[in-house]
Amino acid sequence: MISNKLRLDLRKYSSKQKAKILKRFFKTGPGEYAQGDIFIGITVPRLRILSYRYQDLAFNEILELLKSRIHEERFLALLILMLKYRKVNLTGKQKIYKTYLSHSKYVNNWDLVDVSAKQIVGNFLEDKNRAPLYELANSSSLWEKRIAIISTFHFIENSDFKDTLKIAKILILDSHDLIQKAVGWMLREVGKRDRCCEEKFLRKYYRTMPRTMLRYAIERFKEPKRQAYLKGRV
């Protein structure tokens, strides 16, 4: 059971006004991608402070938080898992990695994916077989597909682009804007480190990829080149 102290801390920093804003921002209405998600209005900086305060929380309590209907509780659980991940040995890291993937249905909004996938999944797979990422990329789950591409951010930061580009190709025609934005973002991150590598990929796919994906990918290009891509004249 989650301690009363933690529950009290969460309620102490909640805000009904902030919760209303977050519900709209994260698309919790009928038919939207986060339909029914519950927010209590706690800021990310406050959740980070709480994660350090409760970083020694028992594993079963972290899982209870991760399974919560309340968005901020799931976010806090992921922050605590990340803190634990940094401190444990390889066996401990593997446990956290496996727990993360086996509970991926609770990592069910873009902010939850973006705060944790690189640090846990990407980090763990750095020197291992990356086949699990391709299983995620071919999943029917929006969030598992986003986990797949965002996890490769860890590789990008180490100038390893091959899996980002392979997974981008798998997701190149995905219809959901949250996948289009994520793929475009990761392509842009590749380009920050190796513009030639990004453009080699773009020249092959820019005419067929969704417009949103392309716009994210070329965001940092100089205006003449950006317009050339948008007008199909590269």
Which tens digit of pLDDT belongs to each residue from 57-66? 999 999 999 9
From the number of C-beta atoms within 10 Å of its C-beta (0-12, 13-18, 19+), residue 95 rates as: middle
What's the predicted TM-score (pTM) here? 0.95
Cα separation, 101 vs 103, in Å, equals 5
Tens digit of each residue's pLDDT (9 = 90 or more) over 150-187: 999 999 999 999 999 999 999 999 999 999 999 999 99
Q: Mean of the per-residue pLDDT values for the chain?
A: 96
Residue with tokens 């970083």: 55
- Of 95, 91, 99, 163, the closest CA to residue 126 belongs to 163
Classify domain 110-234 by CATH architecture.
Answer: Alpha Horseshoe (1.25)
What are the pLDDT digits (tens) for 46-93?
999 999 999 999 999 999 999 999 999 999 999 999 999 999 999 999
Domain positions in the chain are 1-87, 110-234
Nearest of 75, 76, 37, 35 to residue 53 by alpha carbon: 76
